Structure 1
Amino acid sequence: MILTAGVSGAMFLVSAILVSVSILYGVTANSDREKNSPFECGFDPVGSVPVSLSLRFFLIAVIFLVFDVEIALLLPSFEGLLESKLVTWVFLGEGIFINLISGSYHEWREGALDWKS
């Protein structure tokens, strides 16, 4: 379905209004020192809590999300392509799937999936 410029503009305007209203009225909660401090079973917190992010975990999570989204978007189309009985589409689907498998193999061979490296 092709949207006209007026409908697209109206959708953009409505979304811009909603974003601006949420920015203006969404930050009404007062920040409090006690609310921002870590909770340690009723005791006063000792020192500050270091916030660390494992770069290896982040890299594996991003790789997982990329391949997961690709597979989630492609698997339903494979079934539709198989039902259409078009050999070209079947080979195209198999090529995309082989490309995903080879990408996973490449990430594994480069060591991006090794947790203890």
Structure 2
Amino acid sequence: MEKYVNSYVIVTIFLVLGIVFPIFVLWLGSFLRPNKPTEEKKTTYESGNDPVGDSQIRFNVRYYLYALMFVIFDVETVFLYPWAVAYKQMGLFALVEMFIFAALLCIGLLYAWRKKVFKWNSI
């Protein structure tokens, strides 16, 4: 029983340290850093040039769609790698499960293709 409670104590200590330490370090940094704001320091930096136009511009929604598609297929590779490493121990069941997973991803890819997510226009 003591070993069981000891595990919770260790997890609690790391949880408290994980929350308190970053807060303390950020507070200490804000306390110790020099703070001399000027108008030049507050301006937007554009590669050494004077800022031109508004800093709030609208991006095409396709940038975000491309990013989402990248994340989806990047996650696929994250799931495929451990499966490939441990395939011999898992057997036929794991093979069927991976085919189902890959089929669902292919369905998602076909759906995105039909919705013309991959078509890039300058609009």
Shorter chain as denominator, the TM-score bin is: 0.7 to 0.9
Pair 1:15 & 2:21 matched: no
- Aligned residue pairs total 113
Q: Which runs of 5+ in 2 are unaligned?
A: none
Q: Distance in 2 between matches of 1:111 and 1:91?
A: 30
Give 1:96 shift. Answer: 0.9
Q: Distance in 2 between matches of 1:15 and 1:89?
A: 36
Secondary structure of 2:20's counterpart equals helix
The alignment's TM-score, normalised by the length of structure 2, stands at 0.70
What amino acid does structure 2 have at the position aligned with 1:65? V
Secondary structure of 1:112's counterpart equals coil
Q: Which residue of 2 aligns with 1:66?
A: 72
Pair 1:95 & 2:100 matched: yes
The alignment's TM-score, normalised by the length of structure 1, stands at 0.73
Indicate how the Cα distance of structure 1 residues 6 and 110 shifts in structure 2: closer, same or farther if over 3 A, else same: same
| Identity within the alignment, % | 17
Output one character per residue of 1:57-101: Cα deviation in whole Å (capped at 9) or x when no partner: 0221122113202322323313422x2361111111121122112
Secondary structure of 1:111's counterpart equals coil
Indicate how the Cα distance of structure 1 residues 75 and 6 shifts in structure 2: closer, same or farther if over 3 A, else same: same
Considering Cα pairs closer than 8 Å and 6+ residues apart, tell me whether 1 or 2 has the greater RCO: 2
Q: Which moved more, 1:29-38 or 1:49-58?
A: 29-38
Aligned partner of 1:5 among 5, 8, 23: 8
CA RMSD of aligned residues (A): 2.8
